[in-house]
Structure 1
């Protein structure tokens, strides 16, 4: 059992269900339930502000599918970001990697190889850039913030150079149909998101790779003394993030039927924010894939709520910023911290 997931029942001798629920091991469960409560609250706000829309059952169903579809690409990218942050790093270049992978996959030369060639190119570019990030950080000893910031600028520049600062249209029907295809009434993009989330959950919670990720993020030196090749593992984490960016590039290209150097703008901030409010510690060593998914859904629902109420993007960004600050404060001042604070006040 990974330290990032709480057990369903009390396991330790003398531990009751009540004490387990109040302890640190149940914190991911409590946080996820809190995020579910936030989603419910957002739905209630939507129903109050636009009752004529929420009174239509078919509109509600289509709106839910729209939110899930809009969350699909950033959700896939967030899975990779969550692994990187749990491992003690940060990746500011994910948006730029998506743009570079999308532009490279939609060049005329690449499109001549068909859908398979486009998908392979996007994934190869994503993984390749991720490997460069990992090598710079692990073996070049660059701070993750600086290395990925430099890559963000360089990848955007290369994408603009390749595309000639023009929008490249995807002429491949297979790629374009990914966004419009539905299976059992659910968009194919949602299935892709579900598959990536499921694979990420298994990788983090049921494999040695996941346990090593938590160990490296929690205490790199202790992980090294325990026999973990911290440098190699860090490289793999950034390659995994790049893989998710490559998949996300194909998903976004399908939705827009095109790619450009400015695509996925500020996606790095959305992915980091979603991971944080989902319970991933910025200092590393703890986080959950399910929590990150809930974080993505919260932000997508907020975006949708603002859209149906015709509110400005500026107000939406201010609300997002407030949520991020609140999430970080909650991480720092959890239940035990508040209890200790109150105890010191009473004894003082």
Structure 2
């Protein structure tokens, strides 16, 4: 039985203001800080932070490769001047394939594939080094290489978008046709570049860094901006993720696909000039298997083969990893066959990680996450 309140009993204090929260680490500041920290952890653990986690993992792989190099060749890595020159060598080795990989990354994110990039590089390089083209000087050679790459990329895009050919078949056919045309133009001979301006691109340095590395950096920066800060990039992700939904949202999927392959061809044209400068010549067999290196680098960098997701920075790290592996095998005198086997294993591992990371593993962790006991 409850007692009835009397006149002397204290009045309820519901109409009085709440006492001020204690100052210091237990006040509102701590709550806000805790919420911010929880939000950051949620971002890091969620899909939004997947790119950052993968890039950090790729940097970890590079560190492991460097440690292996130090352990196997301490005599070389003990020389700081050699280390700096070796870093520049790796970046220079990665420059041409890196430019091709930027274009390939856009194509794969858009839901396609381009097996003809190596052949396009060869065709653009051969066409740019004919005697007729070289008579127009360095400007004519560069213009020819870029135009040929862009034109072949447009043909690929038109065949796939409006001819409704499967990207694999269309670009495979272009691979054969472009190599054949390059052999026909060059008469199966190596064409020497006599233009000193073009040849100096490979030898020139700015602030001690090769010009080829600057070209790679410019292409990567432009690709990053295009993918992450423009409507074109958002449409690329949309088309690769769900073409039908993109079409219903008002995106011209066919035209956009043509533009993606044209962009890939343009990157091949740039790479053709860079490779021609390195070799001071061009031939139909140049840039052999570049398509596999570009696809592998994009996959290692986190680009989904099914489309809809990928990063330019990740692809660049993938290229650098493969170049580092090549360099590591070279300084240790190991065979190319062993190097290719290691690369193949890395590609398989990367695809398996992509397949299970967001599917089976996520569901497994969800099923096995401890839950609070019900009262």
TM-score normalised to the size of structure 2?
0.88
Q: Is 1:65 aligned to residue 124 of structure 2? A: no
1:185-196 residue pairs with structure 2 within 5 A? Answer: 185-196=208-219
Report how many aligned residue pairs link the two structures.
337
1:46-57 residue pairs with structure 2 within 5 A? Answer: 46-57=69-80
Q: CA–CA distance in 2 between the matches of 1:117 and 1:110? A: 6
1:292 equivalent among 311, 315, 319:
315
Which structure 2 segments of 5+ residues have no match?
1-32, 371-375
Q: CA–CA distance in 1 between the matches of 2:359 and 2:40? A: 17
* Structure-2 change in CA distance of 1:14 and 1:136 (3 Å): same
1:120-159 alpha-carbon deviations (Å, 9 max, x no partner): 0000000000000000000000000000000000000000
2:186 equivalent among 154, 163, 169:
163
| Residue 16 of structure 1, CA deviation | 1.7
* Structure-2 change in CA distance of 1:16 and 1:59 (3 Å): same
Give the corresponding residue for 2:284: 261
1:305-344 residue pairs with structure 2 within 5 A? Answer: 305-334=328-357, 337-342=360-365, 344=367
Which structure 1 segments of 5+ residues have no match?
1-9
1:217-296 residue pairs with structure 2 within 5 A? Answer: 217-296=240-319
Q: CA–CA distance in 1 between the matches of 2:137 and 2:37? A: 61
For 1:272, what is the secondary structure of its paired residue? helix
Give the corresponding residue for 1:3: none
Q: CA–CA distance in 1 between the matches of 2:37 and 2:331? A: 51
TM-score normalised to the size of structure 1?
0.94
Q: CA–CA distance in 2 between the matches of 1:41 and 1:152? A: 36
Give the corresponding residue for 2:133: 110
| Residue 113 of structure 1, CA deviation | 0.3
Q: CA–CA distance in 2 between the matches of 1:21 and 1:118? A: 47
1:167-178 residue pairs with structure 2 within 5 A? Answer: 167-178=190-201
Q: CA–CA distance in 2 between the matches of 1:232 and 1:295? A: 29
Q: CA–CA distance in 2 between the matches of 1:260 and 1:29? A: 40
Q: Over the residues paired in the alignment, what is the CA RMSD in angstroms?
A: 1.7
| Residue 338 of structure 1, CA deviation | 1.5
| Residue 43 of structure 1, CA deviation | 0.5
For 1:16, what is the secondary structure of its paired residue? helix
| Residue 337 of structure 1, CA deviation | 3.3
* Structure-2 change in CA distance of 1:345 and 1:14 (3 Å): closer
1:47-93 alpha-carbon deviations (Å, 9 max, x no partner): 10000000000000000000000100100000000000000000000
Give the corresponding residue for 1:200: 223
Give the corresponding residue for 1:79: 102
For 1:251, what is the secondary structure of its paired residue? helix
Q: CA–CA distance in 2 between the matches of 1:235 and 1:124? A: 15
